[in-house]
Amino acid sequence: MKSEGEGPVSVTGSRNGGAGVLYIVATPIGNLNDLSPRAAAILSRVDVVAAEDTRHSGRLLQHLGLQKRLVALHDHNERDRASGILDELERGHSVALISDAGTPLISDPGYVLVREARGRGLTVTPIPGPCALVTALSAAGLPTDRFLFVGFLPAKRTGRRAALESLREEAATLVFYESPHRILDAVGDIATVLGETREIVLGRELTKTFETFYSGTVAEVRSALEADPHGAKGEFVVMIRGAEPLDHDEAAGALDLDRLIRLLLPELPVKKVAKVAAELSGRSKNDLYQRALELKQG
């Protein structure tokens, strides 16, 4: 293992032709003790800290006893700001990119900056640390050999349901970020589209005082969340067990069901189509009603 001094930590290192290094520094997602010593060392030695919210990050730097030149880099100004930061790196200054919490670029700004820095041949060095999705997955008890991180689901119901629909047959564990004011709606839509019996785990307020894991079927977790007075407060990672692989007969059945719905749609109202398809297949009328609506809308 390398010690802190052995890694590519030189600020104007010869490996970089005199240009500064862009460090991508992970910061805590709630518990300040999770900031790594290496992250603290890098933050103390860089010339500039690029942060999503300079006030928020100012408090982290203050906690570390550091006074740094801070520049704001967020979703709305990343394209404009990136070129100034790249010029600064080329002049030999070192820059640390941090976000409000966790690992930059993971549902956070920084992609444009990193892409362009690499395009200009500059050194980009990751300083790993907390990341809500990995933190949540590591303790959820769901399969982690394959997972699909989907970021935030769309805010509006129609978009959210369509996004879930496109993932219905996905076999990998699904991972989403969700905000507290949408969590109940999101879990409701997961029940509608993926079914009430899928296994789901919610990681809430991870690494913080009120860290909670809710796990069970979608129906059970929804009830637990509704019953908990603190349930819909705080930040959430949503993890859902992937779809069971369909065997050949089931797959053929699923295809036939779509075909049946398509055949019935010109003849009957959507509600009746769902009723007939449910009777023939034994599947939930609500699910088939949703499916019939989707097929009808093309």
Site stretch for ligand SAM (CB under 6 A), options 72-80, 81-89, 95-103, 221-229:
95-103
How do the residues of the chain divide into helix, strand and coil, expressed in percent and rounded to 5?
Answer: 45, 15, 40
| Measured distance CA(89)–CA(123) in Å, rounded | 9
Site stretch for ligand SAM (CB under 6 A), options 114-122, 185-193, 233-241, 267-275:
233-241
287 contacts ligand SAM (rule: CB under 6 A): no
Site track for ligand SAM across 105-124, x = CB under 6 A: -xxx----------------
φ/ψ of residue 37, rounded to 5: -55, -35
**According to CB under 6 A, which residues from 60 to 89 bind ligand SAM?**
none
Nearer to ligand SAM, 133 or 193 (CB): 133
132 contacts ligand SAM (rule: CB under 6 A): yes
Nearer to ligand SAM, 58 or 180 (CB): 180
Site track for ligand SAM across 6-35, x = CB under 6 A: -----------------------xx-----
Q: Please state the closest distance from residue 193 (CB atom) to ligand SAM, in A.
A: 20
- 204 Cβ contact list (under 8 Å, min separation 6): 210, 211, 212, 213, 214, 234, 235, 236
Site stretch for ligand SAM (CB under 6 A), options 63-71, 81-89, 172-180, 218-226:
172-180
Nearer to ligand SAM, 13 or 154 (CB): 154
Residue 104 is classified by DSSP as T
Strands across the sheet containing 147-152? 147-152, 173-178, 236-240, 199-204, 212-217
Nearer to ligand SAM, 32 or 252 (CB): 32
Q: Please state the closest distance from residue 203 (CB atom) to ligand SAM, in A.
A: 5
Per the listing, tokens 């053929």 go with: 252
Question: Of the candidates 109, 236, 261, 270, which one interacts with ligand SAM according to CB under 6 A?
Answer: 236
Secondary structure, 3-state, 9-51: CCCCCHHHCCCCCEEEECECCCCHHHCCHHHHHHHHHCCEEEE
Q: Which residues pair with 215 in a beta bridge?
A: 201
What does 261-278 look like in DSSP terms, one character per residue? Answer: HHHHTTTS-HHHHHHHHH
Q: Contact at 8 Å (CB) between 154 and 120?
A: no
Residue 244 is classified by DSSP as P
Q: How many residues bind ligand SAM (CB under 6 A)?
A: 24
Site track for ligand SAM across 189-218, x = CB under 6 A: --------------xxxxxx----------
Which residues contact ligand SAM by CB under 6 A?
Answer: 29-30, 99, 101-103, 106-108, 131-133, 177-179, 203-208, 235-237
